[in-house]
Structure 1
Amino acid sequence: MNQAIVQLDNVSKQYKNVCAVDALSFSIMPGEVLGLFGHNGAGKTTTMKLILGVTQASQGSVSVFGMNPSSQQAWQGRKQMGYLPENVSFYEQLTGLEVLTYFARLKSAPKQQITDLLNQVGLSHALHRQVKTYSKGMRQRLGLAQAFLGKPKLLLLDEPTVGLDPIATQEFYQSVDTLKKEGASIILCSHVLPGVEQHIDRAMILSQGRSITIGTLDELRSQAQLPTKIKTRGLNGAIYTNSQLAQFAISNDQLSVPKEEKIRVLKALLAHESLSDIQMEPANLEQIYQHFLGLTPSTNQDKFAKPQENTL
């Protein structure tokens, strides 16, 4: 049985009178992509810092590659990790090539990978330009390249698509999928939910430092009991004349159907000869996210203050 790459058991992190992470427990297996979602100050960045070993837990245990990431023994394991912070910052006097060469030496990554990654992120034309001349999108691309150096076994990405155009975003997710196929474990934190869901295996939603829920999208849909939207064509209002369908109708050609009623409704729709097309849309990640955050108890808001995400 494979050992978890990341394991957190009852982990809390306290900053003076602020509880940034509270009793957090989860694991990540080899080749798994975990989406980490929550509002600003929910504890996402603090969780990443605990895994990186940048900060230590106030309570509980953190294990990365089988050891405490803050220990001296874990130092070599950091070469197997890649990290992209939300706000990318490099020495502005260095060129893109010099930046990647510096990080490649730190991670003992092969030189050939430097030019390959610059090509991959679309910066080959600017490899000899100083970083101070780069746009925000170009800096983000350079940040992605340094995170991918060494083909990491654990990759932590905090808002990786900020500043990227649609084509660059698509290419980024292709790189994530490739690393996953090669066995890398990935934690992906993003506010742009529509582009994320097909690339993650599980989602964890944080609020006020705590895990509200964690699971596959199918598991979360089941927990939330969110309806499936069914769009039809050709019925011309016949939905309202059928007692089995009318109770779920939201327009002349759309229905919102609970999971347990889906098969019965589909059979009723298919019985109409005038039906020319049918589409089913299960609840997406954004709807799941909004549902679970809506269940967050307001009684805990005074106990758990919202820290600034860029500091925690």
Structure 2
Amino acid sequence: MTPTLTISRLTKRFGDVEALKAVSLTLEAGRRAALLGHNGAGKSTMMKIILGLIPYDGGEVSVCGSSPGSSSARAAVAYLPENVAFHPALTGEEQLRYYLSLRGESPRQAMELLSRVGLAHAARRRIGTYSKGMRQRVGLAQTLIGKPRLLVLDEPTSGLDPVSRRDFYDLLDGLAAEGTAILLSSHALTEVEARTDRILILSGGALVAEGMLADLRARAALPVALLVRPAPGRAPALVSAFPEASAGGDGLLRLSCAQAEKLPLLARISALGGEVADLDVIPPSLEDIYSHFSRRDGQ
């Protein structure tokens, strides 16, 4: 199956600044990729190239089998920016009906699309009365017009409350299950950690790491943290058994070890039996991994 998005050794310069340095990646149908990077890392430049908004200097880009910006690519791609803007005098329904007409789709789909993003109750209110989160959901409804094969989302949950964010990712899960490829740029690392298939980390215009979260954890080889709660009255015994542990005011013992040492350390803890009341194993977070690869590139 041909990938929905293919980028091969993509380069882009702005004067003396090399914004993208031989970036290569693929994104298959139904896959969700999180594009991470600091401000100025090249994320916006890459998305603009994918959308056909700016040219590139070297390499190759294929969007749904076509050149970015071509009529066939535009018909298959939808984009949601961080800050959407709509005419404040139009209602949500009127705005969607207008965009549906522009895309050659039936305006009657407006209410269905607004229902999918949780805005059916406000469909006939003027957008000028909407909160930022509601306007963001209008933008998301707009991206669903025509069942795009590729969604490009730039900080899409900006302004959404926690419940709306959960509903948003549930909607993305459904779209991916239907075969839509999703490229999502976000600074909210805790959000994307569990709701994307692949992680792409840009730093200084270069793709410094990419893969599934488990693969990046293995490559980063960051330490694993273990939190041990002693049984009542058994804290001194545990401190004696684990002199390398640090004790906090919450009564927990904190241990750290390399990935390869995790199972032996768990075996040592389990051997203590009733002296241990509880145990939590905390792997490196996506934020830890992102910091590791970005810092490595800077060095």
TM-score for both structures, normalised by structure 2: 0.91
Cα offset, 1:29, TM superposition? 1.0
The aligned counterpart of 2:286 is 285
Relative to structure 2, which stretch is displaced further, 184-193 or 9-18?
9-18
Report matched runs for 1:81-92 at 5 Å: 81-92=77-88
Cα offset, 1:53, TM superposition? 1.2
Report matched runs for 1:154-303 at 5 Å: 154-234=150-230, 236-242=235-241, 245-247=242-244, 249-251=245-247, 252-273=252-273, 274-297=275-298
The aligned counterpart of 1:103 is 99
Cα offset, 1:163, TM superposition? 0.4
Cα 1:195–1:237, aligned 2, differ >3 Å: closer, same or farther? Answer: farther
CA distances 1:220-257 after superposition (whole Å, capped 9, x unpaired): 11111111111222352444323xx443x233522112
- What is the CA–CA distance in structure 1 between the aligned matches of 2:21 and 2:236, rounded to whole Å? 51
| Residues 225 and 281 in structure 2, CA contact (< 8 A), matched pair in contact too | yes
| Residues 114 and 149 in structure 1, CA contact (< 8 A), matched pair in contact too | no
Relative to structure 2, which stretch is displaced further, 139-148 or 116-125?
116-125
The aligned counterpart of 1:153 is 149
Cα offset, 1:296, TM superposition? 2.4
Relative to structure 2, which stretch is displaced further, 162-171 or 148-157?
148-157
- What is the CA–CA distance in structure 1 between the aligned matches of 2:31 and 2:243, rounded to whole Å? 42
The aligned counterpart of 1:75 is 71
Letter in 2 for 1:275: V
- What is the CA–CA distance in structure 2 between the aligned matches of 1:269 and 1:106, rounded to whole Å? 64
- What is the CA–CA distance in structure 1 between the aligned matches of 2:50 and 2:78, rounded to whole Å? 12
1:22 to 2:24 alignment: no
Letter in 2 for 1:183: G
- What is the CA–CA distance in structure 1 between the aligned matches of 2:236 and 2:255, rounded to whole Å? 12
3-state SS, counterpart of residue 151 of structure 2: strand
Give the unaligned 5+ runs of structure 1: 299-312
CA distances 1:36-95 after superposition (whole Å, capped 9, x unpaired): 01111111111111111111211111001112113xxx3133222221012212233322
1:57 to 2:28 alignment: no
Cα offset, 1:123, TM superposition? 2.1
Calculate percent identity across the aligned residue pairs.
Answer: 41
- What is the CA–CA distance in structure 1 between the aligned matches of 2:142 and 2:180, rounded to whole Å? 16
Q: State the number of aligned residues.
A: 291
- What is the CA–CA distance in structure 1 between the aligned matches of 2:50 and 2:239, rounded to whole Å? 54
Give the unaligned 5+ runs of structure 2: none
Letter in 1 for 2:85: S
Cα offset, 1:128, TM superposition? 2.3
Cα offset, 1:134, TM superposition? 2.1
Cα 1:104–1:230, aligned 2, differ >3 Å: closer, same or farther? Answer: same
Relative to structure 2, which stretch is displaced further, 173-182 or 275-284?
275-284
Cα offset, 1:152, TM superposition? 1.8
Cα offset, 1:195, TM superposition? 1.3
TM-score for both structures, normalised by structure 1: 0.88
- What is the CA–CA distance in structure 1 between the aligned matches of 2:152 and 2:246, rounded to whole Å? 41
- What is the CA–CA distance in structure 2 between the aligned matches of 1:246 and 1:67, rounded to whole Å? 61
Cα 1:237–1:214, aligned 2, differ >3 Å: closer, same or farther? Answer: farther
Cα 1:233–1:115, aligned 2, differ >3 Å: closer, same or farther? Answer: same
Letter in 2 for 1:295: R
- What is the CA–CA distance in structure 1 between the aligned matches of 2:152 and 2:223, rounded to whole Å? 33
CA distances 1:175-227 after superposition (whole Å, capped 9, x unpaired): 01111111111001111111111111111111121111111111111111111
1:118 to 2:110 alignment: no
3-state SS, counterpart of residue 231 of structure 1: strand
3-state SS, counterpart of residue 296 of structure 1: helix
| Residues 64 and 149 in structure 2, CA contact (< 8 A), matched pair in contact too | no
Cα offset, 1:9, TM superposition? 0.7
Cα offset, 1:110, TM superposition? 4.6
